[in-house]
Chain A
Amino acid sequence: MTSIVRIYLARLLPQLIALAAILIAISMTFPGFLNLEIQNGRLYGSLIDILNRGAPVVLLAIGMTVVIATKGIDLSVGAVMAICGAIAASSITSGHSLFETILITIAVGILCGIWNGILVAVLDIQPIIATLVLMVAGRGIAQLVTEGAILTFNDAGLIFIGSGSFAGLPMPVVVWLVFGVLVALLVRQSALGMLIEAIGINRQASTLSGVLTPVLLIAAYMLSGLCAAIAGIIAAADIRGADANNAGLWLELDAILAVVVGGTSLLGGRFSIAASVLGAIIIQAINTGILLSGFPPEFNLIIKAAIIVFILVLQSPRFRTAFAFLAVPRRAAKTTEQEAK
């Protein structure tokens, strides 16, 4: 058991160090950043705020991780969020119960995922392009549902999902924690994760060796659609309304960034859901940190770009081979030593 924990920690170490560094940097410029207090049975503080505000990106990153692990990408998640927010708002205002609303919304999200999955798995279209279709059309569909207006609602149950609290934590945090643990257990306690990685490394070889590639691919995009649906419900519940134009705008890029920061290669194969979640929290910590430290928010994007480039350079195969020469002599020396013995 301890060895498993140690392996996990070793995998997450770079992300944990990065997060710690960012948190320390913020707390130096903004004293009181690390303070936590309990009011009315709920935790308050900047740290909790980061976990809470980061909820949509964390959720999207969970689905995106699995899709990217299959060597795919899902550009439509932001638009699906907008569609699902619109569906949730229109369903609750037209008199459906909270349970029905959530069920309908999740079904729509999964349906969007099935659409993407079929384009990728059955029609064999490149994932970037396949999901681009829904990205282009999705916001139009969301506007169609809300009829161009911001659809507001007043249902206490739905609002609770956005701003309520459970066991001292804000509801969105509870939702992504539970969902993330469930997905991580599902892929890691079964062979599912390994099969997904196999598809990402070589789809053709996996198919030939008997992996049900199309089913798993569609399932990956379905999961991504489901994540987008939950994120859409949270985003709509948070502002008590569905905004077809701005809900989830550019969040697909933040989700991809979170996965990349988490160390999952965009070329498919190896993946870690916990690392992606940490990646999403790192991004949110940067956003919040820049705001709190009184730094102009205009620099937000430039800092983000710098971080992506830095991480990508570290990940790039060419960079690794360029620095491999540093490792080679040592290994060579060791073998000669062994031979001498």
Chain B
Amino acid sequence: MSTPAFVSVDDARDRLGATGYLASEDIATTAYLAAVLGRPLLVEGPAGVGKTALAGALAAATDSAMLRLQCYEGVDEARALYEWNHAKQLLRITAEQSGGWDDVRTDIFGEEFLLERPLLAAVRAQRPTVLLIDELDKADEELEGLLLELLSEFQITIPELGTIRAAHRPMVVVTSNASRELSEALRRRCLFLHIDYPDAELEQRIVKSHVPDLDDELAASLVRVIGALRGLDLRKAPSVAETVDWASTLVSLDADRLDPELVRRSLGVILKHRSDIELATTKLDLDRELAG
């Protein structure tokens, strides 16, 4: 195994920060451990808190290539791992009609006819790699079975070629929105990280780093309002991504403080259901102007 990507938790946090990803203590610690112990990382949490972004930041911070497998219902071996280039194989067979059987038999399952998909590419990569397996919960359970060998041994077995072992152990990040329960076998192979909404102080820094023009006081109120909305019983609670969107909306509207009219007009940026908007309007009493 090559040298670890990070030398300490502080190093992990600083280098992630340098790529624009402000990590909480929990995130920095777990990312550091994943790098040092060489374990895959299973990241769960609400949508929009930066699960996928973490993989990108890890790649940038460790100067690695990034490979991504986006999962969806029906993603299979051929999309995830490898596929034989059938057309090319057929061409080879027809081109070799005069040739000997032995030539063709050995040749058509050579590397030349192999189409790499993300998992195989990660194993065969010649330089450090971050492999992101995004939204694994959307894929069928068979795919998890396929991943087990990769996640525990960092190798892949192709019947016709044999077992391929990773030269550079890739850093694997698996994300899930918990729309379905992942198998115990898969969970056991990973370090587990639950990313929740950041605390107010961190969220304020995240917003400021994305929207530098934002006034400090406005940023503070913004984050407080978002925090209060998350406490409500909403169908889709606003996430960090929405906070940032809202901040840039307010900046583009030249706002210097939150007033009910302004919030009412821009609520659609953070809330995506009509019932949620109604609930927030009641909670924040937006139909009444500020007193005084």
A and B: bona fide binding partners: no
Chain A residues engaging chain B, CB cutoff 8 angstroms: none
